[in-house]
Amino acid sequence: MSTYLKILIFLLFAVALALPLWTTTTVESQSATEAPTGFDTLTNDATFVSQATHDADRDTFQEVDEVTRGLGPVYNAQSCAACHQNPVTGGISQISELRAGHTDGVGNFVPATVTINDGGGLVGITIANRSLINQRATCPGVVTDVTTHAIVYNHPNEQAQERVPGAETVRARRMTTNVLGLGFVECISNTTLQNIPNGQPVGMKGELTAVPVAEAGGALRIGRFGWKSQDASLLTFSSGAYLNEMGITNRFNLSEVTTLCDDVSDTTPCADNPSIRCGEDPENDIDAFARFMRASKAPSRDARLAATASAQAGATLFNQIGCNICHITTLTTATPGTLINGGAFTVPNALGNKIIHPYSDFLLHNVGTGDGIAQVIDPNTGQLDQSMANKMRTAPLWGMRTRNELMHDGLNYTRNDAILRHAGEATGVINSYRNLSTTQKNQLIDFLNSL
């Protein structure tokens, strides 16, 4: 056999071996498919998260926590599902959270300082520099065990309830958001979000946030979750919500808002790794929360209404008058295998290369509805980014038909009122809406009601 023939065989053999490994990712990057949708409790891909695991995770998401398991001392609800449920677990609800603060002499927002347990001339305990005002508290409270009837929590005299001080005159409500389909949103690459403003007209360019990913040691990523796009990863989001909405410390948030009438240790090690502290979440429920959201389907449309001529005409109008500049209709997630969240998560096949229709750019805009609350830390200064105080994240409109109370604060009750409330960057778009005939407005609203 000639030397040349040997080399040729050798190269062909090598290429034949390598080719399948090369082509796998190339094919994936070229074949984005529609993300599964549905208001149901089915996993979005059983090869990613089995139905049994998804059901168990949903159970954890719905689990009602008690004081003996770390609830409070200040909190808003006893379970995730208490605020994220309509029409199925993970959806929206009518529940809102309360935030407060004030502006200083130069107009900067300062988060509220609240004093608790100060009745009867007591000095009290200060909860400082926190805009979230929890609506509930575990004390005063005495709790008995339902089986033994023995007292298991005994704080009849402490007063942990937060009350908004009169001087904190910036007050705002924030409606709870849908978390279904957020795994797809998490898998939108930074680049995709960073490119969005390039396609938006001058005066309407969305503002990006760069926020820390707790599980990646604080590595920055483009924010996309929450009304201020203050979170980028679902695990970070779960950790923050577990502490702030339910008062349960966990491995990324080990400090209570207040220790008044708090009986459960915040130094308990994790059940699966005693070298790490998990606080009041030794079983790492936050991982189950994140996995539940990642395995959920995106909100589906009302297929019958969407198929009507009116809703289809409304969809055309939605784009024609420019609603889709910020309420972006279609985004595609990153390629499977892409490392995201600062390298802490790899985009799985179930979530990668998926086409979604969130009707949002996940960026911050000033449409005249800002609540005046600065919430995102500027990574350059370590201070609150005041430029975002009057900006809100573009509300994703998928699943909008499940809501009655509209906009971030739920203060608009009709679609028309909510549309007319848009001003600022949206002035031109909304004036185009005003120019529509009554028939066209109804078509547009039919379209919105199909989402």
Residue 163 binds to another protein (criterion: CB under 8 A): no
Residue 407 binds to another protein (criterion: CB under 8 A): yes
Q: Detail the DSSP E strand segments found in 72-227.
A: 74-75, 96-103, 109-111, 114-116, 125-127, 132-133, 136-137, 141-144, 151-155, 170-175, 210-213, 219-222
Q: How long, in residues, is the chain? A: 451
Which one among 74, 210, 235, 323 touches another protein, defined by CB under 8 A?
210
| Cβ at position 257, least distance to another protein in Å | 20
> How many residues make contact with another protein (CB under 8 A)?
84
Residue 356 binds to another protein (criterion: CB under 8 A): no
**Cβ partners under 8 Å of residue 3, min gap 6:** none
Give the bridge partners for 233, in sequence order: none
Residue 309 binds to another protein (criterion: CB under 8 A): no
Interface map 125-144 toward another protein (x if CB under 8 A): --------------------
- Decide: residue 2, CB within 10 A, 0-12 exposed, 13-18 middle, 19+ buried: exposed
* Nearer of residues 87 and 372 to another protein, judged by Cβ: 372
| Cβ at position 401, least distance to another protein in Å | 18
* Nearer of residues 67 and 419 to another protein, judged by Cβ: 419
Among the residue ranges 35-43, 148-156, 235-243, 410-418, the one whose residues contact another protein (CB under 8 A): 410-418
Query: CA 48, CA 295: separation in Å to the nearest integer?
Result: 8
Query: CA 192, CA 142: separation in Å to the nearest integer?
Result: 52
| Cβ at position 396, least distance to another protein in Å | 20
Footprint of another protein on 427-446 (CB under 8 A): 427-428, 430-431, 434, 438, 441-442
| Cβ at position 380, least distance to another protein in Å | 5
Peptide bond into 348 cis (omega under 30): no
Q: Detail the DSSP E strand segments found in 291-406.
A: 331-332, 339-340, 345-346, 354-356, 364-365, 392-393
Which one among 113, 161, 416, 449 touches another protein, defined by CB under 8 A?
416
**What residue has token string 């009290």?**
124
Query: CA 277, CA 266: separation in Å to the nearest integer?
Result: 8
Among the residue ranges 58-66, 113-121, 257-265, 413-421, the one whose residues contact another protein (CB under 8 A): 413-421
Footprint of another protein on 90-119 (CB under 8 A): 96, 98, 100
Residue 308 binds to another protein (criterion: CB under 8 A): no
Footprint of another protein on 39-98 (CB under 8 A): 96, 98
Run of H or E including 419: helix 415-421
| C-alpha of 188 from chain center | 14
Residue 207 binds to another protein (criterion: CB under 8 A): yes
| Cβ at position 248, least distance to another protein in Å | 25
Query: CA 444, CA 66: separation in Å to the nearest integer?
Result: 45
Residue 205 binds to another protein (criterion: CB under 8 A): yes
Which one among 164, 254, 306, 355 touches another protein, defined by CB under 8 A?
164
